[in-house]
Every structure is written in structure tokens, then in C-alpha cells.
């Protein structure tokens, strides 16, 4: 028999009448008239081609065929209710998997906190972090391998949108015993006198572009480029070089015992952005996590302390 021969409303009416043994009481529960409930059951019996109830003026009872069919009917209704619950959770952004691409510093320091606060409201949403290079994160979104990406400002095509989340100044990180640690602030020109290790080719290009207008002999060129910022900070912690990065990596730098010095004249800002696809529909869960990042993340970047502000003005 084709499924189109009966409906969920008919099965629901049958189940309630079978439970209450009364068309009038079933009508009250369903918010229908007794005749409407009777009509639904009659239509179901017609499609099934057997009687479900024995009816009399005093009672309603299931036929043998009705008892056989009841379990199957209620099983279908349970699955429909489960589907309704899942649909409501999806609609309300309460379930789903969200894939987020981000470079190591953001993936290790900012995203886990964002996941925890988001999980307080939506514990069934699973966030998967794809820690990747800065160079790859936008491509992962464009290719559909990530639902969104968070990272430094990068070029992007028509398949990806970009929204600025927060800005953070580029700063110097060095060991406490490094000669530059005694300075209140650091001028860009002073950096040419000290070895610099860059974390990733994105940082290498950023450092070069900051002074790209200068003659070749006055430009700032890293002596080495490593893949991960933690490696660069480990080298800096031993006093072998200094490294440059945005100030928002401070929690990681402090674990290496590094000190931060503002780089001035000029102060250069790093913009951190949210990248999302424009040519495909993202899930409600992904939309919800993106909105969480937009509202929550900027407030997690610590402002400059009064002491740091005083240093940058000196």
C-alpha cells in the first residue's frame, strides 16, 4: 500500500482514540470536533481496507486488526516527533557540526574559549577546528572544506565574504634579558640591528611590507622563517632572536616568559577577520556560531594597560 493512502494526522487521531477509547475525548485533546476525528479514522480505515475500531453507543474498542496495526502506527508517530524535534533544534541552531579554519595562534588561544562559551547555550553543536596556515584558510572556505575561517586580513574572491572582527597592533616579543627589553618602546629602525625570526611566510611578508618603501639596505628582513609561532617564540625565549606578532598572542607569549614592546613610528595594526562562503548556504549552526564570534570575540582582546599606553606615547 502506498504511503500516500494515509497521513500523519490520521495516524495521530487513531492513536489518541485507541488510548482514550473515546472519540469525544480524543477530539478534546486534538482540538478538533468529534466528527472531524471520526472522519480521520474513517479515511484511515478506508486506506487500510480493514476496520480499526468496534463502535457502539457506549464504548469504543480496538479490533484485532487495530491492535496489530497500533504498534506500527505509534512507531511511525515516535519517529515523526523525533524528526520534529531535530528540525526544531536545527532551526534554532541547537545541533550540528561547524568546521572552523584558523591559524595556530587563534586556533589554540581564542577559539577554544569561544567554543566553551557557545557550548553553554548550545551543548549539542560540535565545533571542529582546522588549524592551518594563514595562506590556506580562505581557500578552505572557498572550496567548502570549512564553514568559516578566522584570521588575518587576506585577499579573497567572489566566493568568500570578509568581515573585520578586531584589530591588534604588531608588537615585539623578546626575552627579558634581551637588549631591547630595557627600551620603553621600539622604533622600526632599531629592529635592523637585531636578528628577527618570523612565524610563517605571512609574517615574513608582513614584516617586509611594513618597511617596503625604504631602500634595500634599510629594510627589515628576518634571518629565519619557521612554520609555527610557538617555534618562533621558543627561539626568542632563548635570546637568539626577537619575533614580531600581533598583540593578541600575549597569552601564548607569556607562557614562554617573553616581554612585549610596542613598535612605534608608525604603529602598524593587524586586522583579524571572519571569512564566510557566499555561494553556498551555511547551516543554521554555522550561522549561530558566526554570530557568536562577531559579538563575543572582540571583547576578549585585552585593551592596553595604562602603563603600555604611557610607553607608546613616550
Q: Number of structural domains, the chain?
A: 3
Label residue 124 exposed, middle or buried (CB < 10 Å: 0-12, 13-18, 19+): exposed
Is residue 176 located within the same domain as residue 259? yes
- Tell me what pLDDT residue 1 has: 44
Domain span including residue 10:
3-91
Query: So what's the pLDDT on residue 118?
Result: 94
The 10s digit of each residue's pLDDT in 234-285 is: 999 999 999 999 999 998 999 999 999 999 878 888 899 999 999 888 899 9
Distance CA 272, CA 25 (A): 61
Which CATH number characterizes residue 100's domain?
A: 3.40.190.10
pLDDT of residue 314: 40
Q: Does 314 fall in a domain?
A: no
133 and 278 both lie in a single domain: yes
Q: What is the mean pLDDT of the chain?
A: 87
Query: Do residue 211 and residue 195 come from a single domain?
Result: yes
In a domain, 311, yes or no: no
Residue 215 gets the label, from left (phi > 0), alpha (psi -120 to 50) or beta, of: beta
Stretches in the chain below the pLDDT threshold 70: 1-4, 202-219, 302-314
Q: What does each C-alpha distance from 97 to 111, 117, 127, 162, 175 come to in angstroms?
A: 15, 16, 6, 21, 41
- Tell me the β-bridge partners of 225: 198
Cis peptide bond prior to 28, omega within 30° of 0: no
One domain for residues 247 and 294: no
Is there a domain that residue 261 lies in?
Answer: yes
CA distance 132 to 99: 12
Amino acid at each position: 500500500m502506498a504511503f500516500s493512502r494515509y497521513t500523519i494526522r490520521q495516524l495521530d487521531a487513531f492513536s489518541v482514540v485507541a488510548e482514550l477509547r473515546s472519540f469525544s475525548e480524543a477530539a478534546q485533546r486534538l482540538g478538533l470536533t468529534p466528527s472531524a476525528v471520526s472522519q480521520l479514522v474513517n479515511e484511515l480505515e478506508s486506506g487500510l481496507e480493514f476496520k480499526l475500531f468496534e463502535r457502539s453507543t457506549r464504548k469504543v474498542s480496538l479490533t484485532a486488526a487495530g491492535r496489530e496495526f497500533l504498534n506500527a502506527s505509534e512507531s511511525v508517530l515516535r519517529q515523526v516527533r523525533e524528526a520534529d524535534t531535530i528540525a526544531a533544534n536545527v532551526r534554532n541552531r541547537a545541533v550540528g557540526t561547524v568546521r572552523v579554519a584558523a591559524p595556530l595562534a587563534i586556533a589554540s588561544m581564542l577559539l577554544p574559549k569561544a567554543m566553551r562559551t557557545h557550548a553553554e547555550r548550545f551543548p549539542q553543536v560540535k565545533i571542529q577546528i582546522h588549524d592551518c596556515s594563514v595562506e590556506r584558510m580562505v581557500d578552505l572556505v572557498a572550496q567548502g572544506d570549512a564553514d568559516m575561517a578566522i584570521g588575518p586580513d587576506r585577499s579573497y574572491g567572489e566566493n568568500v565574504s570578509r568581515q573585520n572582527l578586531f584589530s591588534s597592533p604588531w608588537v615585539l616579543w623578546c626575552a627579558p634579558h634581551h637588549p631591547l627589553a630595557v627600551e620603553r618602546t621600539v622604533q622600526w629602525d632599531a629592529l635592523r640591528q637585531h636578528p628577527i625570526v618570523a612565524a610563517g611566510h605571512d609574517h615574513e611578508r608582513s614584516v617586509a611590507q611594513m618597511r617596503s618603501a625604504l631602500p634595500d639596505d634599510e629594510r627589515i628582513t628576518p634571518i629565519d622563517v619557521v612554520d609555527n609561532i610557538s617555534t618562533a617564540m621558543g627561539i626568542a625565549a632563548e635570546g637568539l632572536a626577537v619575533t614580531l606578532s600581533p598583540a593578541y598572542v600575549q597569552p601564548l607569549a607569556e607562557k614562554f616568559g617573553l616581554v612585549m614592546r610596542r613598535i612605534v613610528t608608525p604603529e602598524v595594526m593587524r586586522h583579524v577577520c571572519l571569512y564566510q562562503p557566499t555561494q553556498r548556504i551555511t547551516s543554521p549552526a554555522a550561522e549561530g556560531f558566526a554570530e557568536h564570534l562577531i559579538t563575543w570575540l572582540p571583547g576578549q582582546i585585552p585593551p592596553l594597560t595604562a602603563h603600555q599606553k604611557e610607553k607608546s606615547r613616550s
